Structure 1
Amino acid sequence: MQISLNQNKNLKLFKLISDVAEKNNQTVYIVGGYVRDLLMKRQMPTDIDFVTESSGIDLAKKIAVEINPKLKVSVFKTYGTAMFKHNGLDLEFVGARKESYSEDSRKPAVETGTLEDDQKRRDFTINAMAISLNKENFGELIDPFRGQEDLQNKILRTPLEPLQTYSDDPLRMMRAVRFASTLNFKIEENSLQAIRQEAERIRIVSMERIMVEFNKIMLSEKPSIGLKLLEETGLLQYILPELIALKGIEEIEGQTHKDNFYHTLEVVDNISKNTENLWLRWSALLHDIGKAPTKKFVEGTGWTFHGHEFLGSKMAKTLFQRLKLPLGNDLKYVQKMVKLSSRPIALVTDDASDSALRRLLFDAGDDLEDLFTLCKADITTKNAKKQERFTKNFEYVAQKIKEVEEKDHIRNFQPPISGEEIMEMFNLQPGREIGILKEKVKEAILEGDIANDKIEARNFVITEAEKLGLKSNSLIIFKK
């Protein structure tokens, strides 16, 4: 089959690569995801892979010189690959190769091969197609494993026997689930069975590589497709057993609780309709993570999960450490979202105090809107009337918080009196008294005892300092 590249925005580049390859008696083909996405008419990726049945490193260097002699080429001799950037594209060149694997590693032993050998080693038929850039058949699609047919049928199938494919490189199991989730494809049954059989081999893959694929699943349009597949194939128990622990429904004295695993998947799907923020989606994934260890049946009350948000927030750090996820602000954000995830709903009642609203404003800060997005996503009831009532409740709380914010300016507030000012007022050196007084000012403002105002804060500090036995340098009571 012939693929027309005449309208392709990279045609000029492809022609140049073709010319350089011919001058050097080398073959050259576009392979991998670029071919797949071109046939699917998807947005084209910015990385393009090329295979030659000779030295990929030599070809890359010669093409780079032709484009711009100053272009920097990165060379990876072990794998016979070289790459460089050009016009916003990442171009990678590799010599066609055969691969063989040992049982305890996903790093292959490599030897020179043909284009056919190279296509055989690819993960899925939809990624095993090539487009020739050679003069005699420029634009010809080379598809030995019926990848185009699988594209049309939305099937993920391995070029070779699936057990061998996944055993050789277990990361391919994660890639299968990722493609199923991002492309909404079905994993072919033999392939699915092979993943179930080989799931334990995911242990030999670094957690960093696993998380690259996992996060792509999390960023897909409907993450539950991938998350369900991870659970069904047994992969999830080696990645996030804490999620598996949420699965199932128990019944005591005729009382049951919902299946918190499938509820979590619904929440993740709900939130994904409203945000592409990866860490907000992670917050949805972990928002009930503390329910398994806090679950308790109380006679006369039923099932309780007291403190699950607080425990879940602490568990998030352990999870992030184990999963090699960022431990800085991204972790703090997820911990905050999990910890506060039930707070807004507790403020729905008419008698919710301004103090409680101020505290939520203070604790959530700039992330308040994200918190409300999470809380709304947590509404998974199928009862239309209940759903409407819950949504109105959140709108009610949002309005109350807006009114308090306009009045008190609490969000992200810094106490209106600084530690330096307190030290000057009482001729103090840095010490515990400064921290005590600053904390008292913050609490007084949040409780509504004083306004978020400098003069009121200074007068309040003088009064509280006297209780600590401190004397002000001035007897002046500050007035507005």
Structure 2
Amino acid sequence: MPVPTASSPEEPTAQQLKAIRELLGRVIPPAADELGRRFAAAGHELALVGGPVRDALLGRPGKDVDLTTDATPEQVLQLVEGWADAIWTIGIEFGTVGLRKGDLQLEITTYRSESYDPKSRKPEVSYGKSLTEDLARRDFAVNAMAARLPGHEFVDPFGGLGDLRRKTLRTPGRPEDSFNDDPLRMMRAARFAAQLGFTVAPEVVAAMRDMAGRIEIVSAERIRDELSKLICAPRPRAGLTLLVDTGLAEHVLPELPKLRLEIDEHHRHKDVYEHTLIVLEQAIAQEEDGPDLVLRLAALLHDIGKPKTRSFEPGGRVTFHHHEVVGAKMARHRLSALRYPKDVVADVSRLVELHLRFHGYGDGQWTDSAVRRYVRDAGHLLNRLHKLTRADCTTRNRRKAERLRRAYDDLEARIARLAAEEELAKIRPELDGNEIQQILGIKPGPLVGKAYKFLLDLRLDRGMIGKEAATAELLRWAAEQGLQPPASSS
């Protein structure tokens, strides 16, 4: 259902309020209303609040059921005892109780206000007395709307409905106060710009610019989670641009603004920052099953090694030799600092390292051995590497773009042919470790690994040659190493 328009955003008409109540009645789960009646019978308030109300008015599907109440966490626990199928208290120190009723998961948070000490990474929580007071401490007006339960009375003291209509992000009070209470809200503004396509109000942008350094008191884990949501949003360019323009990126992802390299009349080259955003968008366009965080991070970071490797050659030519190697190390460092899981760090940095490998392909001059190595080095990342490599072509020269496309089409066709013939993804030497030990008469140890690597290189270079020929090559290699295999093997 579209957001009802209003002659005055702060004062919806009676007809609009009726439409909103009917809409909320359709999307609010019956269990939430049942819980509302339970709280009301005990003399307490309960309301659906924040994102679920916003998304209902925007017609966006939502799974979260976020509730707020005047009851303390201890009182909440008493009220849901015997009603909820499961209860968890992992967030109770921040006033939140989680519970499950059937297939529905709910979170109930006591009215509160929270703020950060200038030297603290954790909020100080104090409980509030009213729903309006609770809404006043929310991040943005579009998230400061509520529906009282069980009657579905719409509560919007800060004009969030009008902001939805205008597609604008404002804070309920002064943005400086809001961001001082929780600096992560500055990143959340960028994330909502990317997710919802909203414009951030000028006074909010100004406060983000003035207070960007405040983000450094927020934990790396919280920053990581917000950044991931932004990157996986439908329009990440909008959010990333806001982070860079306000100076926030210098504190959370400093490699990104550094891509804005100077371009003058003597040293012309691509705008690496703009190129990066285009590569990200072109990678997103190739996604098949929803947002791929690893692919998007790799697209965003694939050229971060360029500022460190830029060199000016005679004639005004600019080079970035080995920027993929330097960039891979930088990506590993940044993602580790942001506390990304080890597998994400490894996969993204590997894609950054490999993203230029294709450009040695030329006009199909690679041998089958080189193609096998390309597949072997990419491993489980091959499909993502295909997408990143194709996305990395941002040239406006149609002839060059078409040549690159044909070349990569040819490479993929060769990979498919070799895969069908040789099961490339499962390439192994034709002799396993036990056979190597038996043929050479050696025990487990480093020498077995060296022999295995020799046979793997042989397999990549020559394809399948059969166990007999592989054994002969192994014995030849062993002789070169000064080994004397058992008589039965020679």
TM-score by length of 1: 0.91
Q: Which residue of 2 aligns with 1:257?
A: 269
Q: Which residue of 2 aligns with 1:292?
A: 307
TM-score by length of 2: 0.90
Q: Cα deviations across residues 187-240 of structure 1 (Å, max 9, x unaligned)?
A: 001011010000000000001001110000110112111111100010000012
| Contact 2:55 2:62 (8 Å CA) reproduced | yes
Q: Which residue of 1 aligns with 2:424?
A: 410
How many Å separate the matches in 2 of 1:175 and 1:30?
21
Distance of aligned partners of 1:222 and 1:390 in 2 relative to their CA distance in 1, 3 Å threshold: farther
Distance of aligned partners of 1:301 and 1:414 in 2 relative to their CA distance in 1, 3 Å threshold: farther
How many Å separate the matches in 2 of 1:139 and 1:17?
13
Alignment of 1:35-50 (within 5 A): 35-45=53-63, 47-50=64-67
Aligned amino acid, residue 248 of structure 1: L
Distance of aligned partners of 1:188 and 1:428 in 2 relative to their CA distance in 1, 3 Å threshold: same
2:139 to 108, 115, 123: 123
Q: Which residue of 1 aligns with 2:208?
A: 195
Q: Which residue of 2 aligns with 1:270?
A: 282
Give how far 1:343 is off. Answer: 1.1
Give how far 1:54 is off. Answer: 3.2
Query: Does residue 1:374 correspond to 2:391, yes or no?
Result: no
Q: Which residue of 2 aligns with 1:389?
A: 403
2:218 to 200, 205, 214: 205
How many Å separate the matches in 1 of 2:477 and 2:159?
80
How many Å separate the matches in 1 of 2:104 and 2:26?
14
How many Å separate the matches in 2 of 1:280 and 1:88?
32
Q: Which residue of 2 aligns with 1:18?
A: 36
CA RMSD of aligned residues (A): 2.2
SS at match of 1:330: helix
Q: Which residue of 2 aligns with 1:164?
A: 177
Aligned amino acid, residue 294 of structure 1: T
Aligned amino acid, residue 299 of structure 1: P
| Contact 1:365 1:412 (8 Å CA) reproduced | no
How many Å separate the matches in 1 of 2:393 and 2:298?
15
Aligned amino acid, residue 171 of structure 1: L
Distance of aligned partners of 1:426 and 1:381 in 2 relative to their CA distance in 1, 3 Å threshold: closer
Q: Which residue of 2 aligns with 1:112?
A: 128
Q: Which residue of 2 aligns with 1:346?
A: 360
| Contact 1:64 1:73 (8 Å CA) reproduced | no
Distance of aligned partners of 1:51 and 1:406 in 2 relative to their CA distance in 1, 3 Å threshold: closer
| Contact 1:154 1:184 (8 Å CA) reproduced | yes
1:4 to 18, 22, 40: 22
- Where does the alignment leave 5 or more consecutive residues of structure 2 unmatched? 1-16
How many Å separate the matches in 1 of 2:201 and 2:153?
27
Aligned amino acid, residue 15 of structure 1: D
Distance of aligned partners of 1:348 and 1:411 in 2 relative to their CA distance in 1, 3 Å threshold: farther
SS at match of 2:485: coil
Identity %: 33
Q: Which residue of 1 aligns with 2:159?
A: 146
| Contact 1:268 1:377 (8 Å CA) reproduced | yes
How many Å separate the matches in 1 of 2:346 and 2:465?
27
Give how far 1:359 is off. Answer: 1.2
How many Å separate the matches in 2 of 1:422 and 1:99?
65
SS at match of 2:99: strand
Aligned amino acid, residue 184 of structure 2: L
Q: Which residue of 2 aligns with 1:326?
A: 341
SS at match of 2:425: coil
How many Å separate the matches in 2 of 1:404 and 1:92?
53
Q: Which residue of 1 aligns with 2:3?
A: none
2:117 to 87, 94, 102: 102
| Contact 1:57 1:93 (8 Å CA) reproduced | no
- Where does the alignment leave 5 or more consecutive residues of structure 1 unmatched? none
Give how far 1:10 is off. Answer: 4.3
Q: Cα deviations across residues 132-157 of structure 1 (Å, max 9, x unaligned)?
A: 115xxx11111011101101111000
Aligned amino acid, residue 274 of structure 2: Y
How many Å separate the matches in 2 of 1:350 and 1:386?
15
How many Å separate the matches in 2 of 1:309 and 1:279?
17
Q: Which residue of 1 aligns with 2:235?
A: 222
Instruction: Tell me the number of residue pairs that the alignment of Structure 1 and Structure 2 aligns.
Output: 468
| Contact 1:35 1:130 (8 Å CA) reproduced | yes
How many Å separate the matches in 2 of 1:341 and 1:438?
28
Aligned amino acid, residue 312 of structure 1: G
